[in-house]
Amino acid sequence: MSATLPPKIIAYLKPTCGWSNGVRAVLRKYQLPFEDRDILGNPAHYEEMIRKSGQPLSPCVEVNGRILADVSGDEVEAWLVRNGYVSRSFAPAGVPTNASCSEEEHARQAGAPNVAFHR
């Protein structure tokens, strides 16, 4: 990792989902710029996620070409620390970083075809 350049991060996420919001919160906590690709609103993003990760579950995060498939915010944070992209911060993320989608979120997303819900 370069001290001057942040990693290129693409996050394949649902607009509202506990797991997806946890990933967003971790990336924001470390002030890492990322591209938030909506896998429910854009079928091409969902298909791209499956092609790159080899599986249909979200969230998936791509960091400098490395795919982290079916991960929580906690798992993304641990990977970023372990691989030297960030130094661990104990600052609050603002939302739970390892929480499932609520029943409300599942109900709102029920109309999305061919999308597997995380855990």
What digits encode the pLDDT tens for the residues 19-33?
999 999 999 999 999
What digits encode the pLDDT tens for the residues 5-62?
899 999 999 999 999 999 999 999 999 999 999 999 999 999 999 999 999 999 999 9
Nearest residue to 115 via CA among 39, 16, 62, 53:
39
Task: Give the start-end residues of each E strand in 1-119.
Answer: 9-13, 35-38, 60-63, 66-69
Phi, psi of 116, rounded to the nearest 5 degrees: -85, 135
All structural domains of the chain with their residue ranges: 9-109
Query: Phi-psi region for residue 91, left (φ > 0), alpha (ψ -120 to 50) or beta?
Result: beta
* pLDDT at residue number 74: 97
| 3.40.30.10, 3.90.550.10, 3.30.70.380, 1.10.3720.10: CATH of 9-109 | 3.40.30.10
User: What amino acid is encoded at 73 in this protein?
Assistant: G
